[in-house]
Amino acid sequence: GAVVSQHPSRVICKSGTSVKIECRSLDFQATTMFWYRQFPKQSLMLMATSNEGSKATYEQGVEKDKFLINHASLTLSTLTVTSAHPEDSSFYICSARRNHDTQYFGPGTRLTVL
Amino acid sequence: RKEVEQDPGPFNVPEGATVAFNCTYSNSASQSFFWYRQDCRKEPKLLMSVYSSGNEDGRFTAQLNRASQYISLLIRDSKLSDSATYLCVAGNTPLVFGKGTRLSVIA
């Protein structure tokens, strides 16, 4: 299957700081990448759809100024959690669409905000 | 947002058992259907696509009923390593994930 990497895998930060998460498609070009968040024992919740070269599309209830997404190339999308707070602690997972609608997921980033 | 509903379980089955998971989706315009597997604290991994004609991959069989908007997954001869959460997925772009059905295979 296709390979998607995500970095860092785990981050602990203080409240008020910003955290950047990178998502890369390693063996294919992805015009569309997706960012999800998953709280314990909950389903994946789509946060935003990231399209290369254009602005991301955010889901209802997701603050675009707090979760900054940049998709500058066909293999890289970044999510920056700005002014993180403890309630932002979660498992953030990106995925990249390879063809049709098959999505391949990165290994996820576990964010803990103290 | 259109939903994908599935029984959260858990399903606790002995090794060698056959187990079936079902899910329903509400968006009749959905064109793509998948089953993903997610292990604890890991990312989801694609298990198989689901086609109207039904498809089989080893011990796993997936079925789609568009009229009833219903997707199923059958696992035969369950292994301990099958223990995981199985996510039903339907939609177009973006995909919509169910909350998952938890399976525990017991020795």
DSSP string, B39-84: -TTS-EEEEEE--TT-EEETTEEEEEETTTTEEEEEE-S--GGG-E
Per-residue confidence (pLDDT) for residue A100, from 0 to 100: 64
Q: Which residues of B touch A110 (CB under 8 A)?
A: 41
Q: Is A102's Cβ below 8 Å from some Cβ in B?
A: yes
Average pLDDT of adjacent 10-residue blocks, chain A of 114 residues: 87 96 91 90 88 89 94 91 96 85 85 96
| Per-residue pLDDT at B1 | 52
- Specify the pLDDT at position B31: 86
State which residue of chain B sits closest to A110, comparing Cα positions: B41
Percentage of chain B exceeding pLDDT 90: 68
The string of pLDDT tens digits covering residues B38-85 is 998 888 898 998 988 889 999 999 999 999 999 999 999 999 999 999
Torsions phi, psi for A111 (to 5 deg)? -100, 125
Q: What is the mean pLDDT of chain B?
A: 91
B87 burial class (0-12, 13-18, 19+ CB within 10 angstroms)?
Answer: buried
Task: Give A13: exposed, middle or buried? Use CB within 10 Å, 0-12, 13-18, 19+.
Answer: middle
Asked whether the beta carbons of residue A44 and residue B41 sit closer than 8 angstroms, the reply is no
Cβ–Cβ contact A77 with B under 8 A = no
Please tell me which residue of chain A has the smallest CA distance to B30.
A101
Q: What is the pLDDT of residue B38?
A: 93
pLDDT in the model for residue A1: 59
